[in-house]
Amino acid sequence: MDYDRLVTVIRKLALEAGDRIMEIYEADDFDVKVKSDDSPVTEADEAADAIISAGLRAAFPDVTLVTEEQAASHAERAETFLIVDPLDGTKEFINRRGDFTVNIAYVENGVPTRGVVYAPAKARMFFTQADGSAVEEDGPFHRDTPGNLRAIRVSEPDNAALMVVASKSHRDQATDDYIGKYAVKDMKSAGSSLKFCLIATGEADIYPRVGRTMEWDTAAGDAVLRGAGGRVVRFEDHQPLVYGKEGYANPFFIAYAPAVDLKEA
């Protein structure tokens, strides 16, 4: 893979999809449907998916593409593939809370090595460069030319005063029980894959997820976090989270800065 070209393409497609999402987000009303798994889907999800999938298939026709909004792609299996969530945080979008993202990732041998996470309503963009390192780009964003890029790095946390980030829409007692094992200075809530990015920038130290997620929810944020020196491990045994699993469902996991003293589940 030509990583320079890959990063250029996925960054541009994320911006194009984000522009279309915001057109719909800022409209007076938009259609919301319910999928077979009872999760919501909007016209913004579908419009963003059409932009991204067409762009990726044109640019990388020989690379397997898995995208949340195309159920037929969920039967695909490959060692190396592109994986997309065109609008992660649909509930945040519907409730106009702003914590939604465009996620595009490239997975190699079970590891998300390159990715982009774009939060158009918050004007924040995070991605991996060709060398795999993670950056945040300052807006305003131009599709063809990146603006000011800042290298991002995970924190050197104080285990006696940790910053925890947890899901805004999927918080439960099991999550709170696990967080209770740590000495917490402060806690923040965030939607979508922004939680990974807050750890990548050092704004948070740990994100435990005790609940259902799919690989397209996490791959891009995982790539950014890895590029910033972070880790994502399975909740039950602290082994690395791997991608390309049958059905693309994730186990429970923990995303964190490596200096965090992880507690057992």
Confidence (pLDDT) at 35: 75
pLDDT in tens, 184-211: 999 998 888 999 999 999 999 999 999 8
Say if residues 102 and 121 touch (Cβ distance below 8 Å).
no
Separation CA 78–CA 55 (nearest Å) = 20
Separation CA 246–CA 228 (nearest Å) = 28
Whether residue 16 is predicted with pLDDT greater than 80 in this model: the reply is yes
Query: Average of pLDDT values for 232-258?
Result: 97
CATH topology of domain 162-256: D-Maltodextrin-Binding Protein; domain 2 (3.40.190)
Q: Binding site for substrate, residues? A: 68, 87-90, 217
Separation CA 16–CA 19 (nearest Å) = 5
User: CATH for 3-151?
Assistant: 3.30.540.10
Confidence (pLDDT) at 36: 65
Q: Binding site for Mg(2+), residues? A: 68, 85, 87-88, 217
pLDDT in tens, 213-243: 999 999 999 999 999 999 999 999 999 999 9
* Domain positions in the chain: 3-151, 162-256
Query: Average of pLDDT values for 64-81?
Result: 95
pLDDT in tens, 96-132: 889 999 999 999 999 999 999 999 999 999 999 999 9
First to last CA, the chain: 38
Q: Binding site, residues? A: 68, 85, 87-90, 217
Confidence (pLDDT) at 169: 67
Separation CA 27–CA 47 (nearest Å) = 14
Establish whether domains 3-151 and 162-256 are of one fold.
no
